[in-house]
Amino acid sequence: MSAPTVEFFFDFGSPASYLAWTQLPRLAAETNAVVAWRPMLLGGVFKATGNSSPVTVPAKGRWMTDDLARWARRYGVAFRIPAHFPINTLTLMRGATGMQLRHPDRFERYVDVVARAMFETPKNLGDPDVLVATLRDAGFDPAEFAALVADPDVKARLIATTEEAVARGAFGAPTFFVGEQMFFGQDRLDFVREALRAQS
């Protein structure tokens, strides 16, 4: 049989997406699955569904900070909420979409660099100068990146992916699909694993 596929809809601005991303290599290895990367714009998902960030309820935001730290400890991964959080991730997500569309060989490297700069280092990637320096240090050409995120096809693709996520039932990030089964949250990776095993 062919390898089972998990679609991973994510936004770099979502700490839970970051935590899920840290676990995807192991998940894929354990299930012989392929990860289909689906960069989307979480702000667009919120607007379309009427959902909002958990931090809009202060008590929930405080709890989530503790909860994410507990999961990071369980996973054994570095995790810090950046000082300038939350940031507008439009450029970052256009960058992911653009790499996937135009430079697929560099896509996973880009995701790695941005994800770690967001929640491992962390840096203020909402500052264009910081972003440019981060990308340049990682070997990306800033001029090429600027052209990529201004590319109308890239912009349209990011919108289309976001709309597709909403149409299929997503309301937040990360959202996983195994076939048409949807799973929301990095805390549902166990169920994603089960679904992938059922398909393999």
Min dist CB 175 to a second copy, Å, is 9
The Cα–Cα gap between 63 and 153 comes to 39
Binding mask 135-174 for a second copy (x = CB under 8 A): -------------------------------x--xxxx--
Nearest to 131 by CA among 147, 107, 140, 151: 140
Residue 110, both tokens:
């880009």
The Cα–Cα gap between 110 and 141 comes to 12
Cβ nearer to a second copy, comparing 52 with 121: 52
Look-up of token digits 């880009």: 110
Residue 5 found at the interface with a second copy (CB under 8 A): no
In sign, the C-alpha dihedral spanning 43, 47, 53, 56 is positive
Q: Which of 5, 23, 51, 53 binds a second copy (CB under 8 A)?
A: 51
The Cα–Cα gap between 190 and 84 comes to 31
Type of residue found at 36: A
Q: Which of 50, 76, 139, 152 binds a second copy (CB under 8 A)?
A: 50
Binding mask 56-85 for a second copy (x = CB under 8 A): xxxxx-xx--xx--x---------------
Min dist CB 114 to a second copy, Å, is 27
Q: Which stretch binds a second copy (CB under 8 A): 111-119, 135-143, 144-152, 183-191?
A: 183-191
Reduced to 3 states (helix: H, G, I; strand: E, B; else coil), residue 87 is coil
Cβ nearer to a second copy, comparing 136 with 168: 168
102 C-beta neighbours (distance < 10 Å), count = 15
Cis peptide before 86 (omega within 30 of 0): yes
Q: How many residues in the shown chain lie near a second copy by CB under 8 A?
A: 23
Contact residues: a second copy, CB under 8 A: 49-51, 56-60, 62-63, 66-67, 70, 166, 169-172, 182, 184, 187-188, 191
